[in-house]
């Protein structure tokens, strides 16, 4: 039973800290909506171009907003010594890093989805794109948190960690980006998007199995 209680303890603590620091949660969202609404000023506002670039902009900006908030998964704990205490706890480190990843997704990944659906309207995208946007984000944002956590653990506490983290993480997001925006685009053209969703689900399962292990290994190296 203590395995579940340890998982819940870390999850509850991180959620509590996140909600007590609401600014840290709101800022990436505001940033997301801000950069996503910059593009119409650049390409003009006629509906056809917005329709073409809409899904791509909404998705790329979601990816950037998620990357922006990755640093907070381990950085605060690394600075104040809590990470060492998590490392020395009786429960396996993989379990505790998974709890931290889930907390990050609930605080920073999930809120991106309503913002993205609002941006759908901003880009005057047809209603047919709402459902694909929702499902691709539901499958994609956990991958941001999972892969992001592994690499945030690798670069925790390094000089220039933020930019280095983005440099390491963005190439790994390309497959998710390709299939997600491809799915939304195909859905708007009335094609079936089962293939893309299956692939996104496969990427999610792969990240779910591998990335907590990689994060635990990376933390063990960084603390060592």
Partner 1 sequence: MPNIPPTCKLELRALQCSRNDALLFNDLSCVLQTGETLYVRGANGSGKSSLLRMLAGLAQPDAGDVRWCGTDTRALGSDYAAVLQYVGHQNGIKLDLTAQENLAFYQALNGGPDAAALITALERTGLASCAALPARRLSAGQRRRLALARLLLWHAPLWLLDEPLTSLDDDGRALFRGLMQRHTTGGGIIVMATHEADIGANGPHRELVLQ
Partner 2 sequence: MLESLYKYAAPQNFYQLSRRLTPWLAGAAALLLLAGLAGALWFAPPDYQQGESFRIIYVHVPSAWMSLFVYVVLAAAGITGLVWKVKVADALARASAPIGAAFTFLALATGSLWGKPMWGAWWVWDARLTSELILLFLYVGYIALQGAIEDRRMAARAGAVLAVIGLINIPIIHYSVEWWSTLHQGPTVTRFDAPAIHISMLIPLLIMALGFKLYYAANVLVRMRCELLEAERNSAWVRQLGS
Residues lying near partner 2 in the complex (CB under 8 A): 147, 150-151, 154-155, 158-161, 164, 167-168, 170-172, 174-175, 178-179, 182, 199, 203, 206, 210, 214, 217-218, 221-222, 224
Please identify which residue in 57, 63, 86, 183 interacts with partner 1, judged by CB under 8 A: 86
Residue 51 touches which member of partner 2, partner 1, none, C-beta under 5-8 Å by kind? none
**Which C-beta is closer to partner 2: that of 99 or that of 215?**
215
Please identify which residue in 45, 85, 128, 192 interacts with partner 1, judged by CB under 8 A: 85
**Which C-beta is closer to partner 2: that of 127 or that of 163?**
163
Name the nearest CA neighbour of 153 among 90, 206, 96: 96
Name the nearest CA neighbour of 147 among 184, 199, 104, 85: 104
Rg for the chain (alpha carbons), in Å? 18
Structure tokens at 65: 């907003």
Structure tokens at 210: 């591998």
**Which C-beta is closer to partner 1: that of 183 or that of 219?**
219
The window from 26-34, 74-82, 127-135, 162-170 that contacts partner 1 (CB under 8 A) reads 74-82
Residue 183 touches which member of partner 2, partner 1, none, C-beta under 5-8 Å by kind? none
**Cβ contacts of 178 within 8 Å, gap of 6 or more:** none
**Cβ contacts of 141 within 8 Å, gap of 6 or more:** 62, 66, 105, 109, 110, 112, 113
Helix, strand, or coil here: 125? coil
Length of the chain: 224
Q: How far is the CB of 141 from partner 1 (least distance, A)?
A: 25
Cα 16 from Cα 96, distance rounded (Å): 16
Q: How many residues bind partner 1 (CB under 8 A)?
A: 26
Residue 126 touches which member of partner 2, partner 1, none, C-beta under 5-8 Å by kind? none
The window from 90-98, 162-170, 182-190, 193-201 that contacts partner 1 (CB under 8 A) reads 90-98
Name the nearest CA neighbour of 222 among 175, 162, 159, 156: 156
Q: Which of residues 13-32 bind partner 1 (CB under 8 A)?
A: 13, 16-17, 20-21
Cα 135 from Cα 85, distance rounded (Å): 37
Query: What does the binding site for partner 1 look like in residue numbers (CB under 8 A)?
Result: 2, 5-6, 8-10, 13, 16-17, 20-21, 79-82, 84-92, 223-224
């Amino acid at each position: 039973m203590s395995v579940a209680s340890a998982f819940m303890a870390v999850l509850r603590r991180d959620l509590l800290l996140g909600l007590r620091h609401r600014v840290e949660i709101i800022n990436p969202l505001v940033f997301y909506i801000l950069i996503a609404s910059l593009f119409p000023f650049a390409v003009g506002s006629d509906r056809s171009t917005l329709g073409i670039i809409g899904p791509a902009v909404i998705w790329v900006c979601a990816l950037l907003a998620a990357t922006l908030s990755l640093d907070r998964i381990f950085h605060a704990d690394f600075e104040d010594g809590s990470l060492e205490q998590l490392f020395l706890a009786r429960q396996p480190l993989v379990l505790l890093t998974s709890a931290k990843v889930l907390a990050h997704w609930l605080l920073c990944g999930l809120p991106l989805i309503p913002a993205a659906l609002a941006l759908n309207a901003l880009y005057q995208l047809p209603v047919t794109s709402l459902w694909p946007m929702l499902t691709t984000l539901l499958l994609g944002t956990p991958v941001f948190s999972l892969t992001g956590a592994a690499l945030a653990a690798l670069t925790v506490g390094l000089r220039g960690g933020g930019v280095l983290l983005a440099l390491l993480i963005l190439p790994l997001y390309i497959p998710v980006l390709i299939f997600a925006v491809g799915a939304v685009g195909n859905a708007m053209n009335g094609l079936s998007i089962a293939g893309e969703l299956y692939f996104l689900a496969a990427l999610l399962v792969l990240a779910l199995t591998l990335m907590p292990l990689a994060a635990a290994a990376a933390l063990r190296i960084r603390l060592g």
